[in-house]
């Protein structure tokens, strides 16, 4: 699966926003500090998230970002797609040209796995991740959210 830092950081930042929802607009500098993500990198990601109507921005003093919809209405797969990431386990990126300009022997297997991972991530919304974090009782640092998603993907892969 080619889920790069861009996708992981986008999910982590959106989860941070969901956790702090109701506290007014959240400054990217605050997310950057809490999550250890570069502010300039977050600015690039949030431009894409805003363009896809996942967040809204508030300008001026006390400005920042809010979720554009309820956390329960924003799915992890949507966040990943918004920052131009894909959930693709094929070598060819789905182009069917893995080997000698045609599909390799295992192309359909990896394509099916990509579909399963996408379906799984499309069933997980930000509110579920917030609730999971709250239910743990330990209230781990919010940067562990990416690990939760990664573990969910590993469970799907293990069940294939």
What is the per-residue DSSP string for 51-117? HTTSEEEE-STT-EEEESS-GGG-BHHHHHHHTT-----SSSTTSS-TBTTB--TTHHHHHHHHHHH
Please give the structure tokens belonging to residue 4: 């790069």
- Print pLDDT tens along the chain (160 aa): 466 789 999 999 999 999 999 899 999 999 999 999 999 999 999 999 999 999 999 998 889 999 999 999 999 999 999 997 777 777 777 777 877 788 788 888 888 888 898 899 999 999 999 999 888 765 545 444 444 555 555 555 555 5
Neighbours of 150 (CB within 10 A): 14
- List domains and CATH numbers for the chain: 5-88+100-155 (1.10.10.10)
Please give the structure tokens belonging to residue 5: 């830092």
């Amino acid at each position: 699966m080619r889920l790069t830092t861009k996708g992981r950081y986008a999910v982590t930042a959106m989860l941070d926003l969901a956790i702090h929802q109701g506290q007014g607009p959240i400054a990217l500098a605050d997310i950057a500090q809490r999550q250890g993500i570069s502010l300039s990198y977050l600015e690039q990601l949030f431009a894409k998230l805003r363009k896809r109507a996942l967040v809204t921005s508030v300008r001026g003093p006390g400005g920042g970002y809010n979720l554009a919809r309820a956390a329960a209405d924003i799915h992890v797969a949507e966040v990943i797609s918004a920052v131009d990431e894909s959930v693709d386990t094929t070598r060819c990126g789905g182009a069917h040209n893995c080997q000698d300009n045609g599909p390799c022997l295992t192309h359909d297997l990896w394509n099916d796995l990509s579909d399963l991972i996408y379906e799984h991530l499309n069933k997980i919304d930000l509110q579920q991740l917030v609730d999971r974090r709250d239910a743990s009782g330990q209230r781990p640092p919010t940067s562990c959210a990416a690990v939760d998603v990664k573990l969910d993907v590993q469970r799907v892969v293990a069940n294939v």
